[in-house]
Each structure stands twice: as C-alpha cells, then as structure tokens.
A and B are shown apart, each in its own frame.
Chain A
Amino acid sequence: MEPIRDLYQQVLLEHYKHPHNYGHLEHPTHQADGDNPLCGDHIHLELQVENDTIVDVKFSGMGCAISKASASIMTQAIKGKPVEEAKQLADLFYQIVKGETDVPEAPSSDLEELFIFSGVRDFPTRVKCATLAWHTLEDALKQS
C-alpha cells in the first residue's frame, strides 16, 4: 500500500469525519486540555471516573485528521475500562506509533483500531498529532 493510503486508512477517515464521543459530559470528574503548537491542534477531554473506572468520556476541539481520529478511537478504547488499564493502553499506543511493537496477528477487537496508527511511524512529524489525545488523557488522570 502507498504510505499515504496506509496513513489515511478508511477507518481513520471515518473517525475524522464522524468522531465518536464528541461533545461534553454533564458532570465530568476529570478534565484536561492538550495543545500541539506545531499543528495548532487543540483537544479538550472530559472524563467521568467512578470507583477507579472510566465510566464515560467525551472530547471536543479542533485538529487534523490524525489527532481527531486518534481522540475518537481512544475514547472508544478506554470507555468502561479501569483507570490503570487505560494508562497501560496509553503506553501501548506510544509503542505502536513509534514502531516499537509489532501489530499482533489478531488484536482483540476493541483494540484493533489502535493499530491503524502504526502507519504514523513513517511520518515522524505527525507522531505528536497521534499522541495528543493520549497525553491529554494522562494529564486528566493526574488530577484527583
């Protein structure tokens, strides 16, 4: 596949055009803002954490296809997960975009979409776009 088609896969484009969990929560327990000055991407993330579990999550903001799709896919992946597990997913994601982990033969279905970002490794200037949402998640979880 051409690198450009590998980066802008259909799944990514779908999430960009129709992001999931986009908007605001009634009563967020945690929130954070993330900026990528290079791209001008901005994301606002809201979490509702109960008993160490992320029961709901929403994001808003402006950004490129990669940062927006990444945020959308992240919210899907962490919704309903224990906080600790979400943090581990962040680490896994950083490894994926840096090309430090191989794409498994059959990733569990709810994590499958994280691996479409493995194409980003060929675009070093765009890695920050892909990781913005996850860094913002870590910032939000630091508040207690």
Chain B
Amino acid sequence: MNPEVAATVDLDVHSIRADFPILNVQPYGQHLAYFDNAATTQKPQVVIDTLTQFYEQFNSNVHRGVHYLSQHATEAYEKSREIVRRFLNARSTAEIVFVRGTTEALNLLATTFGKLLQPGDEILISMMEHHSNLVPWQILAKEKELKLKYIPITETGELDLDAFERLLSDRTRVVSIVHASNSLGTVNPIEKIIELAHQNDIPVIIDGAQAVAHIAVDVQSLDADFYVFSGHKIYGPTGIGVLYGKELWLDRLPPYQAGGDMIKRVTLEETTYNVLPYKFEAGTPNIAGAVGLGVALEYVQNIGLSKIARYETQLLEYATRAVEEIPGLRIIGTANQKIGVLSFVMDYTHPHDIGTILDQAGVAIRAGHHCTQPVMDFFGVEGTARASFAVYNTPEEIDQMVKALWQVYQLFGQ
C-alpha cells in the first residue's frame, strides 16, 4: 500500500477486500477500481449469504403465520429492526419504519406532511438536495399552494447558514436537508440546522443516504425529527431502507399506504390503524432485504465507523492532491467537511468521455448530474465526473484512476 496512507491507518483493507467477492471481477482484463460507491456500494459475503440463507431456511411472511417458519421470519425481521435502532441510537423500535429506500421515505414524508399543511405554509430545503428530496416537495407545493424555499450554497459547495436563518419564518412548517451531498461530498452542519429550526419549533428531516456509511449517527443527540437512508449505500441489499421518525411525529402523521399489516381492525365503515411502526408498513415488506440490512449494519459496526471515516478521508486527500496536478481539472465541491466524494470537471472533456476512458482502464466512476441538476446549474456545468470512495478502496486504485485521467489529458487536453 502507498506508505503515505498506510502509515496512519489501522485498517486492514486487504482482509476487508476479501469479504467482497465482486471485487474479483476484471473488466476488460484489468483490476476493478470501483469508485461508484455513492451510487451503490458492493455487498460483503455475509450479506449475500444472509439473503440466500433467508430464502433457504426462513422464508415465510411476517406477522401473519402461526407456523414455525413465520415465527422465525418474523423474529429475524424484528431483530433487524432492533439492529437499526441501535445503529441510529433511536429510543424505540416503534420509531424505525422499513421502507424501500431513501426515495420512498422522502415521498412518504412529503405526502403525509402535506396532509397537515395549509396554503401559504412554507417548506425549507436546500439547493444541494438530491432530486428525491426536491421533486416530492415541489409537487406538494404546487398541489397545496405552499411555498418551497431553498437555502443557497456557496462557491465551495457549503450551505449558507446566515441565509438559512433569514429564510426561517413563522410560516415554515418543515425543514428537509441532506446530511452529506452526493454530488459535492459536503457534510452539512445538521446539528446547527436542527438547533436553529427547533428554536422556531420546526421539525427537521435529514436525508442520510450518503452519510450513514461514513459518519456515525446518533438521532437522539442530534435531536433529528426524521432521519432516512437506503440499505444499498451501506453495503446492504437494494430495495430496503429506513425511515426513523420521533414517535411524537409518526403519531401525528397520517398513514401513507393502506392495506395489510398497517391496520388494527377493519369494518366496512372504518379502520383503526396499527401501532407504530406498522402503521407505515402496509403490505408484505422486503423481509429478506431487511434481514440483510441488519447484517450489513453489523458488518460496518464491526469495522467501526470512525476507522472507516478516517481511512476514507485519507483516500480523499490522496486523490485530491493527485488530480489537482492535472491541467484543466477543476474540483467541484471543496467544502471543509467532506465524505469521500471527488467530483470534478476537465475543461476540455465532457464527463461522459472521462467515464468511458476510465472504464476502459477498469475504473468505475459516475458521470452526469447525479440527480442534483440545481447544483450543476449553480456551478455552471452540465455534469461532473465523480469518484466516490468506500472502505474497500485502496491508494493503488486511486493511482490507477489518476493514470487514466492523465490519458484523458493527453487525448483531449493537448
């Protein structure tokens, strides 16, 4: 390993890599450097095995059967909810709702909050939101004649906190903010945001999709009203995610979808809803996915999030220094606090051409607007190339990427 990075990190990346079978794939006969982790992370063997084992040994519906298998499936599903509770340090499992992912959680919140809002009420989000924390609010605002306001961002890609304070008004009903930006890497000061919003009695939703795999989250010490994330970005399966909500708020919100499991009693005239969290879990959930997510979270905790964060920060710093040498390359997102996301443009090459050239060198990155078009507009670019790091990446892989970026320069820049 690169001595610069190795010297300071007590993390055995080679044994971690051995946990991820997909890292053995060799695109075009080359070593795979997978740097598209912000889109989705790879899965360790324990998670893959858990899914298989669930279908081989436990498969059954939950909360519905009196039989042996159903009891085991229900236990595994609820055990996973307890793992999530501990992971976020929530007060109770009643506050942990399983959903399909961040997008579903945010749609759930926009839709159900919407039922409590009046024309003229205001929703405050930021300019750096992922489309999934923007479009649902935009639709709601149109439908209910609400005002959607945006916290501006600065040239470094940080939130303008002074503007945030000015934008809070006595009509603001909810603030919804991304914890860490998927296109800039910026880690937002959500403690401060929550504190300021709470001084005005406004609830705060945090989109933790990019944060949870890199930053330890304690929803009680943050005092977040809602915190949502996707399993697949933290080494878990796709199709499963988490909506944490304070009990007080989940009680206040009406149900989202209706059907089985979310009811207590149904007559032809009316329905009484089930207790939390089941009120928000209509229909058969992604049981195997939930169980797999629990295992993924344990996997992360066994390594330790602070170790992971330290390691990834060093990868980011190493990569940042190396790409800064390349003429005409501009990094988009230079906040002080960043997760391992390196977004950049090269002024002579379109991001997709960079993506294709890197792909041929075995390096997987993302190119495009990353579902954050307002951010791209702000920086005056069509899109960026983005490398995003995870615990299994190595400095050698960064060298592999940087070498291919020099090839881009030779092809296009000279």
Contact = CB atoms under 8 A, between A and B. Distances in A.
B383 A40 contact: yes
Interface string B53-69: 00000000000000000
B352 A39 contact: yes
B382 A40 contact: yes
Interface stretch (B74-82, B126-134, B194-202, B353-361): B353-361
Contacts of A4: 356-357, 360, 407, 411
B412 A13 contact: yes
Interface residues of A, number: 21
B369 interface: yes
B353 A38 contact: no
A66 B353 contact: yes
A65 B412 contact: yes
Given A62-B382, A63-B350, A65-B349, A39 B368 contact: yes
Nearest to A129: B352
A8 B353 contact: yes
- Chain B interface size band reads 10 to 19
Given A38-B368, A40-B369, A65 B360 contact: no
Nearest to A62: B382
- Of the listed residues A39, A62, A68, A123, the one surrounded by the most CB atoms of chain B closer than 10 A to its CB is A39
Contacts of A125: 356
A77 interface: no
Interface string A109-125: 00000000000000101
A57 B351 CA distance: 27
Contacts of B357: 4, 8
Nearest to A10: B411
A66 B352 CA distance: 9
A7 B348 CA distance: 17
B350 A65 contact: yes
Name which of A3, A4, A38, A62 has the most chain B CB atoms within 10 A of its CB.
A4
B111 to A, nearest CB: 26
B166 to A, nearest CB: 33
A65 B353 contact: yes
Contacts of A64: 350-353
B356 A7 contact: yes
Contact of B411 (A3, A8, A68, A126): A8
B360 A3 contact: yes
Given A40-B382, A65-B350, A123 B356 contact: yes
Contacts, number: 43
Contacts of A7: 356
Interface string A34-61: 0000111000000000000000000000
Query: In this complex, which of B349, B350, B360, B368 has the most chain A Cβ atoms within 10 angstroms of its Cβ?
Result: B350
A77 B368 CA distance: 30
Contacts of A123: 356
A3 B368 CA distance: 23
B183 to A, nearest CB: 13
Contacts of A3: 360
Nearest to B367: A39
A101 to B, nearest CB: 23
Given A39-B368, A65-B412, A126 B382 contact: no
A118 to B, nearest CB: 16
Nearest to B358: A4
Interface string A60-80: 001111101000000000000
A91 B351 CA distance: 28
Interface in B332-382: 348-353, 356-357, 360, 367-369, 382
8 contacts: A8-B411, A17-B348, A39-B367, A40-B369, A40-B382, A66-B353, A126-B352, A129-B352
Interface of B: 348-353, 356-357, 360, 367-369, 382-383, 407, 411-412
Interface of A: 2-4, 7-8, 13, 16-17, 38-40, 62-66, 68, 123, 125-126, 129
Given A17-B348, A40-B383, A66-B353, 16 more contacts: A3-B360, A4-B360, A4-B407, A8-B357, A8-B412, A13-B412, A38-B368, A39-B350, A40-B368, A40-B369, A63-B350, A64-B353, A65-B353, A65-B412, A123-B356, A126-B352
